[in-house]
Amino acid sequence: MTGAGISAESGISTFRDNGGLWEKYDIQEVCTPEGWARNPQLVTDFYNERRMQLMDTQPNLAHRLVAQLEKRFNVTVITQNVDDLHERAGSSHVLHLHGELMKVTSSRQPNNPRYVRTLDTGHLQVKMGDLAADGSQLRPFIVWFGEAVPLIEEACAISSKADIYLIIGTSLNVYPAAGLTSFVPDTCPIYLIDPKPVKWNSSHRFTQIAKGASAGMQELMQMLEAETE
């Protein structure tokens, strides 16, 4: 399970740290259904800006090492991030809990797969008047605050079958994603990579690697190699 911390090393702003996005933008204005209803132009511009930033961003070592785990394990990445850096690094099974920045959808039926489409890299700027197939204004394919998380049940099912559970760069403050730790089997080791203390939200024991995402993944790879020799 990954959060904003894994993409921070690629230059994508986290949300809650000093200098994060929520210090620059009012969450209620750009990341809620109510904000969209009040000012869809502002929300559209915000996500256009995020896409352009993403185009100038590359996966970092942590993303690449997560992808390399597939050489030895059956890996599913459950991410709270809306960027596509895991996919670009080579991960083949990625579940985006909070949506995908490179996709747009109907503002009338946002979770209807018939209306979800991926933007072409040469045409990332959505404009007012750009319509989905049902005739409604295109909106970002993002799960905003206050909206249901359609993929949470699938994420719970995946977590409940884990043999090894790895958490990278998430504060475990955002629910329901933060509650996934309670579905991990008691016999499953959990590794938490984060340089800062994290308010642990489960009775499950865990091992913290108090480093950034890339350095932490390097240490974890060494630990896993030693344990499986």
Residues marked active site are found at 98
As a whole number of angstroms, the distance between CA 146 and CA 169 comes to 23
Helix (H), strand (E) counts: the chain: 9, 8
Question: Cβ(212)–Cβ(192) under 8 Å?
Answer: no
42: helix, coil or strand? helix
Question: Cβ(80)–Cβ(174) under 8 Å?
Answer: yes
As a whole number of angstroms, the distance between CA 124 and CA 103 comes to 9
As a whole number of angstroms, the distance between CA 193 and CA 61 comes to 14
Q: Hey, what are 122's tokens?
A: 């040469």
Q: Hey, what are 209's tokens?
A: 């690697």
As a whole number of angstroms, the distance between CA 66 and CA 93 comes to 11
Kindly report the number of other CB atoms within 10 A of residue 219's CB atom: 15
As a whole number of angstroms, the distance between CA 35 and CA 129 comes to 18
